[in-house]
Structure 1
């Protein structure tokens, strides 16, 4: 824990706790996007894709999966590949519960995983070291049990800009998200099979869901663009056409 975070918890602890409880109570509970969670799209070389993670991966903030992250990413990749895709995501998941979800799945192989996890860890009491240890477990599980060749990791969003969060809670969670991202970048940089997306999904007017916490279709579109570019770049850099 950083000195700033430790001091904030001492000085602002009761305020942060009350704001967190209040925000959970008044923030609208939006459903996950409706639609298929697996399928085949496009033609060409086969690409086995898994979209994995929390409520953002599940498409909260979009009405259908077509407008959510999964649908927008698959549509881009299907221009050049036959994409065999699955979506394993659920609102409320943190890194530990995502590990438990993977343990319940039958082992199968994927070429690429797009991972979205961490917001619910930031809002918990987890330390950055504990969080990174769980990211390492996730990577080991994906590459070991599921034979993943490339893990495309989504950074934590800029929570210091989330309109649903009051101050100073917004500042506090934003600061934690930045610290988590800094350590995540070091982890991804040390792993050849990892790609950390660089796009800064900063909200602009009309781009977020009405809860002020989740992405809207415009942000999902930018996110899918960045992920598709990262995946395509990895494919171009392999002579055999395999990841």
Structure 2
């Protein structure tokens, strides 16, 4: 039970409801990225394939085309570091929650991939998805992907919503509190079932020049910063790690 959180939320509910409606009204609604949702960097058959699934960050909200988004930029960084051919694909829907994503994935025709990254949590935070249900849905997701993608699913940390300047206080702090609860659930799952889930975090974007004009989603520069941080980590399988380029 997380009684302090729910008591605080109940006490502040009229204020949170008003601020939430106002934030939705005043925050620009950016479209999903356009263009091909996949590609590759380098020539010939790829030696490593990246798939990003999830909500608005997977959908490329904040940039114009998917080539500027997270999956593409991560593949680009891996290609630059290794000199190898890296393929990428992204599958995301703006505003979706995890249960809805699972429904979409059940009928989706996704490509082969060596690693799957899940970018979720913001909409389940704002929608107050119960933690037990969120955990159940993560296992449903894993079951859906297990046959095609036997490697662990990499859970990207839930963004620290208490730092989202587009949200007023106290809404921002309550959402940040809830986001941290879901993020801890990610970490618990990764610790309890490392063969099924891994947890990945990256530095928080605080530079407003790295945000789109809604003050909420990453810009192309922001996605590049996230990709650079992820590509620099030691979480990748051997064939996705950085190697010296062949002259």
TM bracket (short chain): 0.7 to 0.9
Alignment of 1:1-243 (within 5 A): 1-43=1-43, 46-79=47-80, 80=82, 81-106=84-109, 109-144=112-147, 146-190=148-192, 191-230=194-233, 233-235=236-238
Gapped regions of structure 2 (runs ≥ 5): 242-247
Question: What is the alpha-carbon distance in structure 1 between the residues aligned to residue 145 and residue 233 of structure 2?
Answer: 18
Show structure 1 runs of 4+ deviating over 6 A. none
Contact 1:152–1:227 (8 Å) recurs in 2: no
- How far apart are residue 108 of structure 1 and its match? 5.4
The SS at the match of 2:58 is coil
Gapped regions of structure 1 (runs ≥ 5): 239-243
RMSD: 2.2
Question: What is the alpha-carbon distance in structure 2 between the residues aligned to residue 112 and residue 225 of structure 1?
Answer: 17
The SS at the match of 1:56 is helix
The SS at the match of 2:91 is strand
The normalised TM-score by structure 2 is: 0.87
Question: What is the alpha-carbon distance in structure 1 between the residues aligned to residue 87 and residue 212 of structure 2?
Answer: 28
Question: Cα gap change, 1:231/1:141 in structure 2, threshold over 3 Å: closer, same or farther?
Answer: farther
What number of residue pairs does the alignment pair up? 237
